[in-house]
A and B are shown apart, each in its own frame.
Chain A
Amino acid sequence: MAWFRKKKAGIAPVEQKQVQMPEGVWTKCKNCDEIIYAKEIERNLNVCPKCDYHFRISARERIALILDEGSFVEMDSGIQSIDFLDFKDSKKYKERIKATIKKTGMNDAVVCGEGTINELPVAVAVFDFSFMGGSMGSVVGEKITRAIEKGLEARAPVIVFSSSGGARMQESIMSLMQMAKTSAALAKLKKNGIPFISVLTDPTTGGVTASFAMLGDLNIAEPRALIGFAGPRVIEQTIRQKLPEGFQRSEYLLEHGMVDMIVRRQEMKERLSQVLRIFTKS
């Protein structure tokens, strides 16, 4: 028997007592890392009050922000995608559609309709990034084309708010064709002298940028939005070098002449109203 014995037990790890916070009370800004009271961000139209970072917002929130209260009438909300290629990655596309509809309460990645901005009638299409990354398949292409055709028919300006990773891979060639379809509809709009405003929000890349999103009579971007053709990862892999700071951000596109102006969320409605009144001589 040892003459010396430890009398006390070793130091046991103290049970981690984490402060239980109600979900979503505080939000960490993705840009400045500041912890901010979520309600404060919400009150500020989902823009960080410290650094002016524009958080992604849903299509519904965007519509409430831009269109006059109660003026929005949705159209084509019942259209759904179908899995005509039997596409399967980690999940069948058919199941992915079903699950995403259930999760988001939307039928696809864009909400379209008519409404007014300071009493001026417009046709709008608004992307929702939460639905499969805002990707464009048949449904998105069809709904945007119909929104453009609505503008044509009503002789009302058309505005598209983009937020999309690009064409939807699960619909392969059919997604690609939506780029041609929507752009062809814009050719008709242009010929008829009706304004088309493209608002680019974070992120707008791939086939959406390479079709209607770059074809605005005015291209308007939200601050610091990622906008480009190829995604930054693809470019880095191709050229094997780090991309410069601020590459493919709104400010970079403004400098290179690809967008007409950068407009903060708080000022978007008034700016659109001002622009459209001049374009429509009203």
Chain B
Amino acid sequence: MQFYLDFEKPIVELEQKIRELREFSTENVDFSSDIKKLEKKASKLRDDIFSNLNRWQRTQLARHMIRPYTLDYIQHIFTDWFEVHGDRNFRDDPALICGFARLDGDPCVVIGHQKGRDTKEKVYRNFGMPNPEGYRKALRVMQMAEQFGLPVFTFVDTPGAFPGIGAEERGQAEAIARNLREMAALSVPVIVTITGEGGSGGALAIAVGNKVQMMEYSVYSVISPEGCAAILWNDGTKGPVAAEALKLTASDINKLGNVIDNVIPEPTGGAHNNPAEAAALVKKALKAHLDELKQLSGEELVEQRYQKFRAMTQMTEAE
């Protein structure tokens, strides 16, 4: 199985060569100067490639097969994590995980989309596409956070809410809509991190936060590039063109000014290149946001969140 993207191939090959040289090195044969040279070359190559990524390549990085998922971040950032299950109505949704943990000792709620690594887990997690019961479970847990006065951290990484017959039957739209309304009214701090794919309403349903931040190589959009291409050009393979048009990368969205608060830089080569370092950077940002929000009362938190989303608009007003 291939664990790298096409544009990562030259770097991966060079690293393979370095590894081989290391293995061949013995006390008698010294490759250290060659290794150093190659390492320098690899680092330059990586910088070159990563500083010139187009929007489609960034989308691919956001969906990278070895990109850290919510459970990876939880493992690195929090302690005392325990997961809770079910919406008390229909079933548990493994595509959206909810639980409690501690952030440097402080109790909190953690909610996030979860994708699978291998085929079996991918199917089990429904490729990170929640059904209505996933959103209803998330709402149940968020309201528990309010009950106990705990801050909520959400991690967003989904292609979108699942479009299926059962999902429609059980009210996918209603579940998302209700979350939007109820999240807006939560009296505890809500801090949102887009870690991978921010896929439309399915992402937004856990992303109405006091603070919203994006990882450097994450994307956030009203529709997937493929879906957009299928509708506008009648051709789902034109995803790369649609990605450019949708301006869906973290830096694009940051430029709009008021949609997200900050972009978290990723380790060179992307979060998958060093998940521990990526998680440490996320943790630092989470703590800074939480410290700021702790100063606000419940009412002020609701108002700050309301004004934040209220201001999101781009239009002209003639008399």
| Pairwise interchain contact B256-A173, C-beta atoms closer than 8 A | yes
| Pairwise interchain contact A169-B168, C-beta atoms closer than 8 A | no
| Pairwise interchain contact A169-B259, C-beta atoms closer than 8 A | no
| Pairwise interchain contact B233-A229, C-beta atoms closer than 8 A | no
| Pairwise interchain contact A87-B245, C-beta atoms closer than 8 A | yes
Beyond A229-B168, A229-B173, A258-B171, is A139–B315 a contact (Cβ under 8 Å)? yes
Q: Give per-residue flags for A48-74: 1 if the beta carbon is below 8 A from chain B beta carbons, else 0.
A: 000000000000000000000000000
| Size category of the binding interface on chain A | 35 or more
Beyond A181-B312, A256-B171, is A207–B248 a contact (Cβ under 8 Å)? no
With A and B bound together, what is the CA distance between A229 and B169 in angstroms? 10
User: Which of chain B's residues have a CB closer than 8 A to the CB of A172?
Assistant: 221-222, 246-248
Shortest Cβ gap from A168 to chain B (Å): 8
With A and B bound together, what is the CA distance between A157 and B171 in angstroms? 25
Closest chain A residue, CB of each to CB of B311: A181
Give A144-179 interface residues, CB cut-off 8 Å to B: 145, 167-169, 171-179
| Pairwise interchain contact B180-A183, C-beta atoms closer than 8 A | yes
Beyond A179-B204, A207-B222, is A238–B163 a contact (Cβ under 8 Å)? yes
User: Which of chain B's residues have a CB closer than 8 A to the CB of A4?
Assistant: none
Q: How many residues of B contact A (CB 8 A)?
A: 55
Shortest Cβ gap from B62 to chain A (Å): 14
With A and B bound together, what is the CA distance between A84 and B313 in angstroms? 10
| Pairwise interchain contact A79-B317, C-beta atoms closer than 8 A | yes
Shortest Cβ gap from A8 to chain B (Å): 51
Of A28-36, A184-192, A271-279, the one contacting chain B is: A184-192
A212 at the interface (CB under 8 A from B): yes
Majority secondary structure, A binding face: helix
Shortest Cβ gap from A209 to chain B (Å): 4
Closest chain A residue, CB of each to CB of B164: A239
With A and B bound together, what is the CA distance between A150 and B220 in angstroms? 31
With A and B bound together, what is the CA distance between A188 and B181 in angstroms? 9
With A and B bound together, what is the CA distance between A171 and B305 in angstroms? 22
With A and B bound together, what is the CA distance between A181 and B317 in angstroms? 19
| Pairwise interchain contact B163-A234, C-beta atoms closer than 8 A | yes
| Pairwise interchain contact A214-B168, C-beta atoms closer than 8 A | no
Closest chain A residue, CB of each to CB of B223: A169
| Pairwise interchain contact A207-B200, C-beta atoms closer than 8 A | yes
Give B148-184 interface residues, CB cut-off 8 Å to A: 161-165, 167-174, 176-178, 180-182, 184
- Can you report 17 residue pairs joining A to B where beta carbons are below 8 Å apart? A76-B317, A78-B317, A78-B319, A81-B314, A169-B223, A172-B221, A172-B222, A173-B221, A174-B313, A187-B184, A212-B177, A214-B177, A228-B168, A228-B173, A229-B161, A229-B167, A229-B201
What 9 A-B pairs have minimum CB-CB distances, sorted nearest first? A230-B163, A184-B184, A183-B180, A229-B173, A209-B173, A78-B318, A89-B232, A229-B172, A177-B312
Known: A174-B312, A178-B312. 15 other contacts (CB 8 A): A87-B245, A142-B313, A171-B222, A172-B246, A177-B204, A183-B180, A183-B181, A184-B180, A187-B182, A210-B172, A213-B173, A234-B227, A239-B164, A247-B165, A258-B174
